[in-house]
Structure 1
């Protein structure tokens, strides 16, 4: 069951008029809020000074209904005499409601838009439409369904008499509260922003906007956006955490391990290429080329880097001649490298040595050509962008190596095929498929 906080200006029909609840009392009767804030202009504050009518009526309602709620000290604006001016209230109302939300974070805010002046009602209506929080605007219809004249003189307020003649105290009273079913305009605008950000693969931006309107989107939608952000950050544990107890599978390769890591990284590069972020794309190819070449060597030739390398105290693999001498595979690698280098240096393992080894061992001319092309790309494009301040455009890439970024991505996919990662063609659209799921849940 929802817990409510009511914010209500006080008007001429409050607390009781024409033998019926005013809007303030009626909303409290029907919704039973946990907390009530009342807002008094100069005229209403003077009535309050005279007989404490608003607080006493609310206390009377507590006793009548047998439930307890907190009545905050009245918010008095005695300087407010121009009560018909919209600007006089909007900012004040907005700040008060923000403070209420910060104090009662888990409560739903109700706004009485039937009490007070037309300017007050309009200001609250706009706030409900543009609010950063989930707010419900309540309208209370008049008992006779038309203009509601006051039969009593508010200056001669008699709580006991007016309470006894209040027809809303009857068991079969009519609930005259109507929730104004207005779409929160700010939430709608921000949802559309999220959709655009998702379609452009900007999950960080989408998550930031989603945080602003978390009350207006489903838990599933927020969890999916969070998962998308963690996925693009290559944080697989973050994806799992975001989707814990959720029935969504956004990653086509479910089993954790090297193949999943490589595939998700390739998808990350593909998104950078699609976004036109060519600098990050080019700089990012070397790590995955290393992993792909290692997989090709292991899967196709049953040779692991441990056959010719050792891991140093920083867990970095280094070429090691002594390690090569221990096995026939190691000796073969030593012979291959000796043909390329006058002296084998016991340095870090890089793609440079892996290219040499794989080209020497392979009989597949197409694969060899692909390796030679990638080697050229790393040397003339990737290494330049990693060490020089340069504007990286698709035109510059193509001018330098006669291939554009799309062509380079396709080469990486070919190597992934050779590494037998078992990536189905439709898997490459995985992010678009995930985006459809996010948008579908966002728009529910």
Structure 2
């Protein structure tokens, strides 16, 4: 049995007139509490100004304003709403408010003692109302099971929220999806963690990505799908650098032309002494510049080394095309402050952007569609 601390009676003008005449509604609550041995709750009467009780639109607004005026302490505890009383328009308005999940409501329906439709003779004459007689003859005075039932409704607010989250995931906007996910009351913690992890991974945050070439190329694929063509084109240079170093790794050890850093790894400073000791290497770098061996490793240096040392004709062809694209596009983008259009980049670079990505992935041994696979998992979590 539910024992509320407070009862709010919402009354139409006609019902309010009856209440003023004989207090039939508040007295019924008092009689019920006395019969069940529970304390009497605080009762608040709300008089509606609308006499057109069939108007659904009136009650949506009126009920929402009324419920939002309740103290936050009461809202946090929860509100039981009887959707079995009042006019059909009132009942429909309350069900709609509950279904959209804006308020912490528990909808209650109470079947008639017949557990079906009332007989027309069951209804008392409201103008010849005798509460004492009706109460004495009330069949519910006998010990009976509680007929109040909670209604389980689909939460349309949550459905809409999850649909919007799914849309953002589809376009790889994980930060926005995470912001919306924080507003959901039904989203699982694993789904929330997955969305946040995807956002960090797309940013290449330390600890979220392995910082490999494949990881970087997957982010480039997302930027291309999103239409961020300027970002994509600017990412070509660092990706191309890593890809060429990886290609050279098996045919030309880095210790033959690079200096070690303090941690023992190889950076991007060229080892002039080692290069001069190697006739083939010094010849490659000599052809690049008449001013001697450069101090730092550039993509120009790397592409020349690939051409000289790599025996795979297809690899050399891909590197040559990518190097040509990079040279033609990079300098223009570095000074660009307006919208960067795909058609312009492809025309200047002489290569479709999708082909650029495919070539880099082929050289790196990477596969496309990583974030699409990730999205499938995230969308599956949303449905749980």
CA shift, 1:412, in A, is 0.8
What is the rounded CA distance, in whole Å, between the counterparts of 2:242 and 2:34 in structure 1? Answer: 70
Q: 1:90 to 1:271 in 2, by over 3 A?
A: same
Q: Which stretches in structure 2 are left out of the alignment for 5+ residues?
A: none
- Structure 2 counterpart of 1:370: 318
Tell me which of 387, 393, 416 is aligned to 2:364.
Answer: 416
- Counterpart secondary structure, 2:369: helix
- Structure 1 counterpart of 2:61: 91
Please identify the structure whose Cα radius of gyration is greater: 2
Whether 1:403 aligns to 2:351 is yes
Q: 1:97 to 1:352 in 2, by over 3 A?
A: farther
Whether 1:287 aligns to 2:238 is yes
Q: TM-score, length-normalised on structure 1?
A: 0.65
RMSD between aligned residues: 4.5
- Counterpart secondary structure, 1:38: strand
What per-residue deviation string (whole Å, max 9, x for no partner) do you get for residues 89-108 of structure 1? 32243245456696578766
Q: TM-score, length-normalised on structure 2?
A: 0.74
Q: Show the 5 A alignment for 1:419-430.
A: 423=366, 425=367, 428-430=368-370
What is the rounded CA distance, in whole Å, between the counterparts of 1:65 and 1:294 in structure 2? Answer: 84
Q: 1:104 to 1:440 in 2, by over 3 A?
A: farther
Whether 1:442 aligns to 2:382 is yes
Tell me which of 149, 154, 171 is aligned to 1:200.
Answer: 171
Answer whether contact 2:6 2:43 (CA < 8 A) is retained: no
Q: 1:72 to 1:435 in 2, by over 3 A?
A: farther
CA shift, 1:345, in A, is 5.3
What is the rounded CA distance, in whole Å, between the counterparts of 1:432 and 1:107 in structure 2? Answer: 42
What is the rounded CA distance, in whole Å, between the counterparts of 2:276 and 2:362 in structure 1? Answer: 27
What is the rounded CA distance, in whole Å, between the counterparts of 1:365 and 1:436 in structure 2? Answer: 38
Whether 1:319 aligns to 2:269 is yes
Tell me which of 277, 280, 303 is aligned to 1:355.
Answer: 303
Q: 1:41 to 1:331 in 2, by over 3 A?
A: farther
Tell me which of 227, 234, 242 is aligned to 2:197.
Answer: 227
Answer whether contact 1:294 1:305 (CA < 8 A) is retained: no
What per-residue deviation string (whole Å, max 9, x for no partner) do you get for residues 330-388 of structure 1? 965777545423145556x5434443444444333332332222222222123322321
What per-residue deviation string (whole Å, max 9, x for no partner) do you get for residues 104-125 of structure 1? 7876654321233433322212
- Counterpart secondary structure, 1:234: coil
What is the rounded CA distance, in whole Å, between the counterparts of 1:375 and 1:267 in structure 2? Answer: 20
What is the rounded CA distance, in whole Å, between the counterparts of 1:73 and 1:441 in structure 2? Answer: 44
Q: 1:146 to 1:305 in 2, by over 3 A?
A: farther
